[in-house]
């Protein structure tokens, strides 16, 4: 009898040791994956898949959540069919119990969620197959006191997670949170480096090429006083005009690289840029909001391209600027009453500059509209959701 007890105890110890070794191996594999990652979406997809494999769970998903409680489905693996309907609409809309607990501060550690509201709705409204998944564990992703979102994992017919399982999930969640913070800090550093390089290039252009063009214009003007030859005078006048035009283009380029006034807001920057181009701009702002830096820069780049088009193609020196903030969306319109061109929405956008505006808008999750008719001017409109995340 004693022998059997001893054998049973020994078997139990071996099982526990094997389980512990498997957990440590899982943490090592995941840590290596996180340390090598530089792209956030790829990292989240990869580590979620690795975690589910080493824990023998079937499905999982990760929500990233901003300061205002807005969430996005950042990664998922083997979701049941009911949650994949309509391009994963059930996972991207509405509230649920884990998000409620996260946002009101109750969810601080790895936790068993009694049941999943999204899966209950899937059964209630007959959205499709749930693969017998009804419950999930949920873990906050954080680094120190900074929170980033939620990690949820589940398996068919599993309604409870042991303390050991929750501890492992919590360890992985801390690693993911630290990796998210590292990647975001790295992206911010790269962004600052780009801005610093733009500023350096703008200074160099101002101090060298800009001054050379100004000197060339003055030289042409002075040389005209030294000759009476009509042909030479015409050539010098042409050189003077070219120099003046190149100087104006250079000043506009410097502004594009380093927009003075953007620290006072995108409207101020665009009005000042309009002055550089020699445009008179009527502006109107509806609604007040502190836009994130990446959104202000996006609107600035789109606005400067639209104003450049007004100067070059409209045939007049007036434009209207409207920026409106409503329902967590920002829209910007720039229009003129100039020459316009023949265009309908079914046509391909005709120029590289206009395509660039469209691509910038869509990169922010927004919509781009272009309206123009011959003799009736052109309108450019962009609308995008106000988000805090940095986008490229």
Residue 106 lies in domain: 17-187
Residues 167 and 274 in one domain: no
Residues 171 and 277 in one domain: no
Lowest mean pLDDT across 216-220, 246-250, 308-312: 246-250
Q: In terms of pLDDT, which residue wins out, 187 or 109?
A: 109
pLDDT in tens, 51-70: 888 788 889 999 888 877 88
pLDDT in tens, 137-184: 888 888 887 888 899 998 888 888 888 888 888 888 888 888 888 888
Question: Does residue 100 belong to any structural domain of this protein?
Answer: yes
Point out the domain boundary residue: 143, 168, 187: 187
Q: How many domains does the chain have?
A: 2
Task: From 160, 144, 63, 145, select the one nearest 111 (Cα to Cα).
Answer: 160
Q: What is the pLDDT of residue 202?
A: 62
Point out the domain boundary residue: 155, 187, 219: 187
Question: Does residue 223 belong to any structural domain of this protein?
Answer: no
Residue 10: in which H helix or E strand, if any?
A: helix 2-36
Residues 181 and 43 in one domain: yes
Q: What is the pLDDT of residue 101?
A: 83
Point out the domain boundary residue: 166, 187, 208: 187
pTM for this one?
A: 0.54
Q: What is the pLDDT of residue 195?
A: 62
Mean pLDDT of 309-334: 88
Highest mean pLDDT out of 8-17, 102-111, 140-149: 140-149
Largest CA distance in the chain: 125
Banded model confidence at residue 327, pLDDT cuts 50, 70, 90: confident
Mean pLDDT of 88-109: 83
Residues 140 and 284 in one domain: no
Task: From 320, 308, 195, 342, select the one nearest 267 (Cα to Cα).
Answer: 320
Question: Does residue 319 belong to any structural domain of this protein?
Answer: yes
> Domain containing 387 — which CATH number?
3.30.565.10
> Domain containing 158 — which CATH number?
3.30.450.40
Question: What is the per-residue DSSP string for 329-386?
Answer: EEEEEEEE-S----B-TTSPP-SHHHHHHHHHHHHTT-EEEEEE-TTS-EEEEEEEE-
Residues 288 and 383 in one domain: yes
Lowest mean pLDDT across 39-53, 72-86, 203-217, 302-316: 203-217
Residues 161 and 276 in one domain: no
> Mean pLDDT, the chain, as a whole number?
79
Lowest mean pLDDT across 138-142, 186-190, 298-302, 347-351: 347-351
Q: In terms of pLDDT, which residue wins out, 336 or 246?
A: 336
Residues 273 and 378 in one domain: yes
Q: What is the pLDDT of residue 4?
A: 47
Residues 154 and 288 in one domain: no
* Phi, psi (degrees; rounded to nearest 5) at 343: -155, 140
Q: What is the pLDDT of residue 390?
A: 45
Question: Does residue 259 belong to any structural domain of this protein?
Answer: no
Mean pLDDT of 119-147: 85
Mean pLDDT of 34-52: 78
HSE-CB at 69 with a 13 A cutoff on CA atoms is: 12
Question: Does residue 334 belong to any structural domain of this protein?
Answer: yes
Lowest mean pLDDT across 70-74, 140-144, 256-260: 256-260
Task: From 177, 189, 186, select the one nearest 145 (Cα to Cα).
Answer: 177
pLDDT in tens, 306-321: 898 888 888 888 899 9
Question: Does residue 122 belong to any structural domain of this protein?
Answer: yes
Q: What is the pLDDT of residue 24?
A: 65
Residues 294 and 162 in one domain: no
Q: What is the pLDDT of residue 333?
A: 93
Banded model confidence at residue 376, pLDDT cuts 50, 70, 90: confident
143 to each of 163, 214, 261, how far by Cα in Å? 21, 54, 35
Mean pLDDT of 370-391: 80
Burial of 390 (0-12, 13-18, 19+ CB in 10 A): middle
Q: What is the pLDDT of residue 320?
A: 92
Residues 42 and 150 in one domain: yes
Question: Does residue 21 belong to any structural domain of this protein?
Answer: yes
87 to each of 83, 84, 90, 92, 240, how far by Cα in Å? 9, 6, 9, 9, 60
Percentage of the chain lying above the pLDDT 70 cut: 77
Lowest mean pLDDT across 11-25, 257-271, 345-359: 11-25
Q: What is the pLDDT of residue 5?
A: 46
Residues 21 and 135 in one domain: yes
């Amino acid at each position: 009898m004693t022998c059997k007890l001893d054998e049973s105890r020994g078997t139990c110890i071996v099982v526990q040791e094997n389980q512990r070794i498997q957990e440590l191996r899982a943490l090592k594999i995941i840590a290596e994956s996180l340390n090598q990652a530089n792209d956030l979406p790829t990292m989240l997809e990869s580590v979620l898949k690795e975690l589910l494999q080493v824990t023998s769970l079937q499905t999982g998903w990760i929500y990233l959540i901003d300061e205002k409680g807005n969430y996005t489905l950042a990664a998922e693996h083997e979701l049941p069919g009911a949650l994949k309907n309509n391009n994963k609409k059930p996972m991207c809309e509405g509230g649920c119990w884990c998000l409620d607990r996260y946002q009101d501060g109750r969810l601080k550690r790895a936790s068993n969620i009694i049941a999943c509201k999204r899966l209950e709705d899937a059964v209630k409204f007959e959205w499709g197959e749930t693969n017998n998944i009804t419950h999930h564990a949920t873990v906050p992703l954080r680094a120190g006191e900074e929170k980033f979102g939620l990690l949820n994992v589940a398996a068919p017919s599993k309604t409870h997670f042991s303390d050991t399982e929750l501890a492992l999930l919590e360890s992985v969640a801390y690693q993911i949170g630290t990796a998210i913070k590292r990647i975001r800090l790295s992206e911010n550093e790269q962004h600052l480096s780009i801005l610093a390089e733009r500023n350096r290039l703008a200074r160099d252009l101002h101090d060298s090429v800009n001054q050379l063009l100004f000197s060339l214009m003055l030289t042409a003007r002075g040389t005209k006083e030294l000759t009476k030859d009509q042909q030479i005078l015409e050539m010098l006048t042409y050189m003077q005009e070219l120099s003046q035009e190149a100087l104006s283009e250079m000043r506009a380029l410097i502004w594009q690289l380093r927009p003075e006034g953007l620290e006072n807001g995108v409207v101020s920057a665009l009005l000042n840029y309009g002055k550089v181009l020699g445009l008179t701009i009527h502006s109107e702002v509806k609604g007040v909001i502190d836009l994130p830096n990446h959104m202000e820069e996006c609107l600035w780049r789109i606005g400067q391209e639209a104003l450049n088009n007004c100067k070059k193609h409209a045939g007049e020196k007036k434009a209207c600027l409207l920026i409106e903030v409503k329902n967590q969306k920002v829209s910007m319109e720039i229009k003129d009453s100039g020459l316009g061109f023949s265009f309908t929405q079914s046509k391909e956008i005709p120029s590289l500059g206009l395509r660039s505006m469209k691509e910038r808008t869509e990169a922010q999750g927004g919509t781009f509209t272009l309206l123009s008719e011959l003799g009736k001017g052109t309108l450019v409109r962009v609308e995008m959701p106000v988000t805090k995340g940095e986008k490229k």
